[in-house]
Amino acid sequence: MIPSNIKALILDMDGVIWKSDAPIGDLPAIFKRIRERGLKFVFATNNGTKTPEEYQKRLADLGVEIDKEQVVTSAMGVAFMLSKKFPKGAKIFVIGENGIRVALENDGFEVLSVENAPQAQVFVMGIDRDVNFQKVAEATLLVRAGIPFYATNTDKTFPTPRGEIPGAGAWLSVIITATSVEPIVAGKPFPYLMELSLEKLGTSKAETLVVGDRLETDIAAGQSVGCPTALVLSGVSTKAQADQWKPGIDLIADDLAALVK
Ligand SMILES: [Mg+2]
């Protein structure tokens, strides 16, 4: 199904590779096929909760060996954006999980606990499965005081085998409502993760296919940088929604296995 001029794939993960803990299809066979076709690939995910090493291990547990350099997360995107604007050692209050914390610390930033949040020079928000009122209150006070507000991604929901649960965007909306301030966002549909992925792949936009399950993030991001796009129907967006999407999507497949067949 993939045209012969395509040399590389930028793959989303949630809804393409797995849904929560459940792999979508026979992953070892799918990646054997991708390698047989000589396609390079990176994973670009708006999910900033895990580190590249954690994704590498998770894929290895599912029978797919990759290099950690093949993973680009929205947490890495935020850390990169901040490293261009703020000095090393800048104090950052984070609502988020391990992925964002490690990415910021790797770039030399100091991640504050909620008790020390009033010292923050920057506030960063991603999905945090231990979010609570105290964290949200501190974040609101910071943003209302004019502290710069960054976010990993704005995905409204997150796919699980039982259906969709609140994503980072849903939690962000609490801070946005309480402050009337919009964050600066690293993840898809903003182009940054695509640009970082293209840099890692070394392929041109025309020969790099962006694959995802969500129109308003994956497909929009691919189209915004001028890459061909493929929607898989194994996640969030439906065929009916895809048919309405403008500009048109290059390929639509039931899942990744069908796409690479
Ligand atoms: Mg997805």
What digits encode the pLDDT tens for the residues 2-49? 999 999 999 999 999 998 889 999 999 999 999 999 999 999 999 888
Question: Residue 92 — very low, low, confident or very high, per pLDDT cuts 50/70/90?
Answer: very high
The chain-wide mean pLDDT, for the chain, equals: 95
Backbone angles phi, psi at 75, to 5 degrees: -65, -40
User: Look-up: residue for tokens 């599912």?
Assistant: 62
The predicted pLDDT at position 20 comes to 80
Q: Judging by beta carbons within 10 Å of its beta carbon (0-12, 13-18, 19+), is residue 83 exposed, middle or buried?
A: middle
Asked whether the predicted pLDDT for residue 157 surpasses 90, the reply is no
CATH 3.40.50.1000 domain range(s) in the chain: 8-46+188-260, 75-185
CA of 115 to the centre of ligand 1 (A): 34
- CA 144 to centroid of ligand 1, rounded, Å: 32
- The Å distance, Cα 146 to ligand 1 centre, comes to 32
- If pLDDT is split at 50, 70 and 90, which confidence band does 80 have? confident
Least confident of 24-28, 131-135, 160-164, 172-176: 160-164
Check whether domain 8-46+188-260 has CATH 3.40.50.1000, yes or no: yes
- Ligand 1 centroid to Cα of residue 212, in Å, is 6
DSSP string, 87-117: -TT-EEEEES-HHHHHHHHHTTPEEEPGGGG
Residues 6+ apart with CB under 8 A from 113: none
Q: Which of 3, 65, 19 is nearest to 260 (CA)?
A: 3
* Active-site annotation, residues: 12, 14
Ligand 1 centre distance from Cα of residue 49 (Å): 14
Q: How far is the CA of 35 from the centre of ligand 1 (A)?
A: 22
Answer whether residue 152 shows pLDDT above 90.
yes
Nearest to 216 by CA among 172, 156, 127: 156
User: Residue 144: which pLDDT band, with cuts at 50, 70 and 90?
Assistant: very high
- Does the pLDDT of residue 111 top 90, yes or no? yes
- pLDDT band of residue 114 (cuts 50, 70, 90) is very high
What is residue 220's predicted lDDT score, i.e. its pLDDT? 97
CATH class of this structure's domain 75-185: alpha beta
